[in-house]
Structure formats: structure tokens, C-alpha cells
Amino acid sequence: MSTVNMKKLKNLTQYNFTATFIKADVIVRERKSSSLEYIYPTVLLKNVCLADTGELIAKYYWLGYGKSLAKLGRLTSGTQLNFEARPDINVLGNKNNGDIASLITWPKKFQRLDKTYQYQAIPENENQLVGYILSNKKQEYSENEQWYLDQYELWREENGDELDTLVEELPAIDDYQDIEVEDVLDDKLEKYAAIRSEELSDSENRKYVIIDRETKKVLDDNNSLGYLKVKDAYESYEHRLINAKERYRKRRALIWLLNHADFDKKLLEIYVEITDKGQWEGYISFDKKLVEDLLLQGNHTHLEFTSKDLLEVWYKG
């Protein structure tokens, strides 16, 4: 494999890459706006190549461990991956990747290339994922690290029934060639899947429905009409799920805010100061990051909503 000059790749152009997963790790960073340390999940990839030509882009590359990759479940060293990403010359390098740090920006559509494998769920939430990675390290943990471990344990408690079950011989990419959907393995093989409905299909059209992978119960059949495309089936069902979960989180955020008048008042004071003076203790924007920091400083953890949810219900008042 020959090395490709980064400068020859077109900026902000989508490329398809292959790589080998080596290990997961964490990076400790300090926010400029506060003295708080945050820990981020990351993965080490080896032999990052252009999928079309096999040309080597990077021998080793540290990549942020995002939700799209976490959806593939527990990965072992040597797992072959395929994904899409694009270079961005405006993204600065870091000490791990040096000049090629801008190579992989906005990675998505991760897929496993092994024909069959055993699936085991891991957290998709960033904080819980950090805790999962730390839990595999035999070491003494700091107070900050312990908080992430607690988040992971919370996830384990909520998903205990599924963690000990390995789903063997999940179909890989080649087995879905008859279904024209690129991201079928990206995030669709966890709890539900789109399948062809014999009952709704006819000689002219294939019809798809969403089923529960474990019980085989039909979860969404588009009012008995089915869906003509796998992609449409997934998008429609996931839209319903997202809306329901979002409404629940915002209800919990509103109830929490009504029961924490002191926090509500503090938000108002900070909002007024940023609006009038342009900043509050180094913060220049009244946004979800500020709210997230305030929650952490007040030791408000294990919440059923996000800082964004809380900010939105606060604005609506």
C-alpha cells in the first residue's frame, strides 16, 4: 500500500475508508471556560485506507468514539471497519495525529466487514461510554473518573437484561445486498429491524415492516400499508421513537426545574448578566454547555434529561 498525500484529497469531499480497530481509550481535556476536566472517548485505528483503491492514508489514527461507531457494540482488536468521512483543512491537528488530524472529519455510517460476529451492546451516551472504557482499565480511579464509572453502572442497571446475551451470526454487509440501503448495519441491528412482509407484498412491490428482533412482533406496518423502501421504514419508525423520547425528557426537565427554584433563579441571573455585560465568569454564550457545567458544579447527575432539554423548557417558561 502506498501513502496518499493528504493535500491531494479534495477538501470537504466525502470518501469511503477502511480501517482496523485496535483499542478504545480516553482523553482528558480542560474546558477553557472553567477549570473542570472532561474526559472524552477515543479509538485507535490502524491502516486507514481509501476503500476504492486500497491506498494507505494513515498507518495509525486516533478518532473520537462517537455514537455511530458505538452502535456496532463491543469491538475487539483486529475488527475490520468501513466508514465514510471527509477531510477538512480548517480542523487543527492534535498531538496524537499531527498534520493529518484534519483527515477524518464527520465520520459516519460505520460498518463491520467481518462476515459474522457476536454482538454485545455498549453505551452510546458519551459519558457512559467513557465509564465503559475506564471499567476495562485496572487502576485506581480519581473522583472525576469515578463519576463516569457511575454513569456506566447506571447504564448497566438499565440494560442488565440484554448485556449477558450475545447475538451470534448477525448478517454482515454482503447478506443485505438485495436490500438497497447503505446504512442497514449502521444502527439498525440492535433491537429492531426492517424485514420484507410476505402478507403485504405482492407481485409488483416488496413491502417492508419494522419488527422487534427478539419477539418478532410487528412494531410498525404503516397502517397495514407497509413501506416500499427499507430506508423509509426505518426513518418513519425512528421519527416516532425520537419524538416520544424527546417529549418525555422535556417533561422530566420541566418537573425538575419547577422543583429547583434556586437553579431557575440562577439561570435568570446569568442570562441577564450575559445579555447586559456580554459575559459571566468567562462564558460569553448562554447555551447548553453553560447549563451542563452548572449542573455538574451543583452535583446534579443521573438526570433523565439533557442540558439542551432543560435550556429549552427554561426559555419557554
Mean pLDDT throughout 54-80?
87
Model confidence at 88, pLDDT cuts 50, 70, 90, reads low
Q: Choose the weakest-confidence range: 157-171, 244-258, 267-281, 289-303.
A: 157-171
Tell me if residue 65 falls in helix, strand or coil: coil
- pLDDT tens digits, one per residue of 99-131: 444 566 678 899 998 866 677 889 999 999 999
Q: Extract the C-alpha cell encoding 261.
A: 427554584
- The confidence score (pLDDT) of residue 144 equals 86
Residue type, 11: N
pLDDT digits (tens, 9 = 90+) for 248-291: 888 888 889 888 989 999 999 999 988 888 889 888 889 989 99
Q: What is the pLDDT of residues 4-15, one digit of tens each?
A: 445 556 777 888
Confidence of residue 133 (pLDDT cuts 50, 70, 90): very high
Instruction: Assign 185 a pLDDT band (cuts: 50, 70, 90).
Output: very low
Across all residues in the chain, what is the average pLDDT?
A: 78
Q: In what order do the strands lie in the sheet with 80-86?
A: 56-64, 37-50, 15-30, 80-86, 105-112
Q: Is the pLDDT of residue 21 over 90?
A: yes
- Domain residue ranges of the chain, discontinuous segments joined by +: 6-158, 179-238, 248-316
Q: What is the pLDDT of residue 2?
A: 37
pLDDT of residue 77: 87
Would you state the pLDDT for residue 244?
72
Identify which has the larger pLDDT, 60 or 92: 60
Is the pLDDT at 177 greater than 50? The verdict is no
Instruction: Round to whole Å and give the CA distance between 33 and 298.
Output: 17
Q: Which pLDDT value is given to residue 96?
A: 54
Residue 180's pLDDT band, with cuts at 50, 70 and 90, is very low
- The grid coordinates listed for 34 are 472553567
CB 80 within 8 A of CB 113: yes
Dihedral pair phi/psi, residue 83, rounded to 5°: -160, 165
Closest by CA position to 111, among listed 74, 66, 68, 76: 68
The pLDDT score that the predictor gives to residue 99 is 44
Q: Rounded distance, CA 71 to CA 181, Å?
A: 17
Residue type, 201: S
Instruction: Report the alpha-carbon distance of residue 193 to residue 213 in Å, rounded.
Output: 6
In sequence order, the 6+-apart residues with CB closer than 8 A to the CB of 141 are 134, 149
pLDDT of residue 34: 56
What distance, in Å, lies between the first and last C-alpha atoms of the chain?
59
Annotate 23-33 with b (16+ C-beta within 10 A) or e (fewer).
ebbbbeeeeee
Mark out the alpha helices in the chain (DSSP H runs): 67-70, 126-135, 143-158, 160-163, 230-258, 261-277, 288-297, 307-316
Check residue 110 and give its pLDDT. Answer: 92
Is residue 205 scored above 80 in pLDDT? Answer: yes
Q: Does residue 21 sit in helix, strand or coil?
A: strand
Whether residue 170 is predicted with pLDDT greater than 50 in this model: the reply is no
* Secondary structure class of 244 (helix, strand, coil): helix
- Please give the Cα distance from 217 to 211 (Å, whole number): 5
Q: What are phi and psi of 296, to 5 degrees?
A: -65, -45
